[in-house]
Amino acid sequence: DPLILETKADDGFLITPEALRHTLETHPHTKLLIFCNPSNPTGGVHTHERCAQLAKVLEDYPHVAVLADEIYERLVYTDDGVCPAFAAMPHMFHRTMTVNGFSKAYAMTGFRLGYVAAPPPLAKAITTIQSQLTSCAGSISQAAGVAALTQVSDTELEANVHLMKDKRDYVLGRLASMKNVHVAVPPNGAFYLLPDVSTYMEGDDAELCLQLLKSKQLALVPGSSFGAPGTIRISYATSMEELKVACDKLEQFLQEHLLPE
């Protein structure tokens, strides 16, 4: 069974070197670390310093490979706007598989175009399996990916980051005005928020999302799907107009289900 390395709000929902070492010490048969940076659903971003600390721990466990999911790397709201590549950490290149794609930074979700960069032995094994499953990405998607890489400038991508940051800040502001709704750590990457709504519906986030869908036609994802019961995941990857409507509906719903003090 997969092992979940729990993160804490006090740590910014980030993996600490102490927690990683404890997990590997207590589970010596671990073979692979799946590392999502920036994170879905918390939006946490592990800095270069933190990644280097994690890599230092992994040096003591040479049998553990790393699958680095970095698909949100171009959606970072820190001052430097950088998401470090884990494969670039000391001694990690030969054991890291980096997963990325075009769905997030280039808003090409329907093209289903992604890729993995890995050391040759791992890449060969991946190719052997993939060639018997999907063969290859569609030619139209490949052409669209080439266009994204060659015709979309860094300036355009950076402008999009500023737009997403404005949307993040708008939703954060709206959530701050809703009673008993708390965002433990403002996200520094991706395009999700994970507010705590555990005082509603007796903490049943799945029921809350179901009733919200039925009564307000607003679709959110229960945080329990991500191992965070009592929370809901909000995506702000849409227009500001849609976000306003969504926040209005959420606020109305919560007001209708607010327990009397």
Task: Spell 146-175 as b/e; 16+ CB within 10 A means b.
Answer: eebeeeeeeeeeeebbeebbebbeebeebb
Q: What is the pTM of this model?
A: 0.92
Determine the Cα–Cα distance for residues 193 and 43; give it in Å rounded to an integer: 7
pLDDT, average across residues 91-102: 97
pLDDT, average across residues 25-53: 96
Confidence at residue 196, expressed as pLDDT on a 0 to 100 scale = 96
pLDDT in tens, 106-152: 999 999 999 999 999 999 999 999 999 988 899 999 999 999 999 99
pLDDT in tens, 154-185: 999 999 999 999 999 999 999 999 999 999 88
pLDDT, the chain, mean: 95
Confidence at residue 97, expressed as pLDDT on a 0 to 100 scale = 98
Q: C-alpha 58: how far from its chain's center?
A: 22
Determine the Cα–Cα distance for residues 124 and 120; give it in Å rounded to an integer: 6
Could you tell me the two tokens for 103? 């769905």
Confidence at residue 261, expressed as pLDDT on a 0 to 100 scale = 64
pLDDT, average across residues 213-227: 96
Determine the Cα–Cα distance for residues 97 and 186; give it in Å rounded to an integer: 28
Task: List, as own/partner pairs, every contact residues 203-207 make where C-beta atoms lie below 8 angstroms and the sequence separation is at least 24, other chains included.
Answer: 203/229, 203/230, 205/229, 205/230, 205/231, 205/232
Q: What is the percentage of the chain residues whose pLDDT exceeds 70? A: 99
pLDDT, average across residues 229-245: 97
Q: What is the percentage of the chain residues whose pLDDT exceeds 90? A: 92
